[in-house]
Amino acid sequence: MLKQLLGKFAEDRAERMLANAGLAILHRNYRCRQGEIDLIAQDGDTLVFVEVRSRSRQDYGSAADSITPAKQRRIIAAARHYLAGLPRLPACRFDAVTLDEGREPAWIKSAFEDMG
């Protein structure tokens, strides 16, 4: 329960950060069989898939370190599922918003790429 509340808090904070930067939030917690995307936003002509990660302790690395190649593959698969429902393929990128205890949130543009 606490983990879910912390995750919601992190997503709320990330959503506000991105909206304040001028991105339009289109979806939150997009789920499909392939995986989940925390936030989907529009940044000008670019569709942005955003992974939100938070860490209250650094014992196992930073929040950014927790976006493993396996996690990236699941996000990319979910993004492909989302894109399949659009009439045309827009420019896309994969960003991350990380929240590490005691630090300001970090917005990492183009945190990873779809290598497929």
Backbone angles phi, psi at 86, to 5 degrees: -95, 150
Map out the domains of the chain as residue ranges: 2-112
Task: List pLDDT tens digits, range 12-38.
Answer: 999 999 999 999 999 999 999 999 999
Confidence grade of residue 54 (pLDDT, cut at 50, 70, 90): confident
Rg (the chain; Cα; Å): 14
Q: For residue 75, which of 20, 34, 18, 45 has the smallest C-alpha distance?
A: 34
37 forms beta bridges with 30
Q: Two tokens at 67?
A: 């976006």
Check pLDDT > 80 for residue 60: no
Q: Two tokens at 56?
A: 């209250």
Backbone angles phi, psi at 68, to 5 degrees: -75, 165
Confidence grade of residue 62 (pLDDT, cut at 50, 70, 90): confident
- The CATH class of 2-112 is alpha beta
Q: Two tokens at 107?
A: 């917005």
| 3-12, 53-62, 87-96: least confident range | 53-62
Confidence grade of residue 64 (pLDDT, cut at 50, 70, 90): confident
One-letter amino acid at 107 equals W
pLDDT at 50: 97
